[in-house]
Amino acid sequence: MIRMDRGQPIILYQGEPTPCPYLNGKTWITHLFASRKISPALYETLLSRGFRRSGYLFYRNQCEDCTSCIPLRIPVSQFRPSPSMKKCLRRNRDVEVLETSIAFDKEVFALYRRYSVYKHGKEEPSVQEEGFRRFLCSSPLDTRMLRYTVKGKTVGVSWLDYLPNSLSSVYFAFEPEEAKRSLGTFSVLKEIEIARMSGREYYYLGFYVPGSPKMSYKARFKPHELLLNGQWRDPATLLASFDA
């Protein structure tokens, strides 16, 4: 049983079934709880057990007929960028990264709305200001916003939880007209660098979802670990054991 910082057990509630945001035809079910006060160390423990965060809500997938959402993390000291990732870094040499607070910002909100339409083809509920504030401007943790700028113009924004031994990616959005820059890849590379330079061990990248173009790209960052049957495993090691 997982307990809060003062020893009280965490009571999980089942969320309402909704259409899966990653795979067509699937239903998404979560077990969740809300907290406005949680220690970074406890959330790090929850992350290691497959939880994620959205505002003040902490959740873990509990879908009845699907286990495709697999938590993925990167041991940052072992990570090595691929040749294409090195090209991405060179392509974005003119991008500056500025750390700011997660306070509501009209420019960032406007970029987020454009990105949401670009990515989903429509405005999602969280694109309304209230949903955006609840999702990305509310956090009980040390959460920071990173602005990716070119000559003073914001071209991308990421939200990042700073934890004792890890960083956890919350979300990333970029300016659609800058799509050729591959800013999603660039932001992951920069955040891995931040984690390594600050002496942290892991960078949590959310769910890896095979078969979902929006989520399967994460497997390109190697080496990485997947949470399988309650244990973090290196998929390359698993494949090697099958080949032995």
The confidence score (pLDDT) of residue 95 equals 98
The confidence score (pLDDT) of residue 9 equals 73
Amino acid at 196: R
Q: Is 168 helix (H, G, I), strand (E, B) or coil?
A: strand
- Residues listed for the chain: 244
The confidence score (pLDDT) of residue 236 equals 80
With CA atoms as reference, report the closest residue to 141 among 85, 203, 57, 225: 57
CA dihedral 101, 105, 111, 112 (to 10 degrees): 70
Amino acid at 1: M
Going by C-beta distance under 8 Å and a sequence separation of 6 or more, which residues neighbour residue 212? 22, 23, 68
Domain locations along the chain:
73-209
Mean pLDDT per 10-residue section of the chain, whose length is 244 residues: 64 88 90 92 95 95 89 97 98 97 96 91 73 95 98 97 98 97 97 98 95 86 94 78 38
The confidence score (pLDDT) of residue 217 equals 87
Among the four given CATH numbers 3.90.400.10, 3.30.1330.60, 3.30.930.10, 3.40.630.30, the one describing domain 73-209:
3.40.630.30
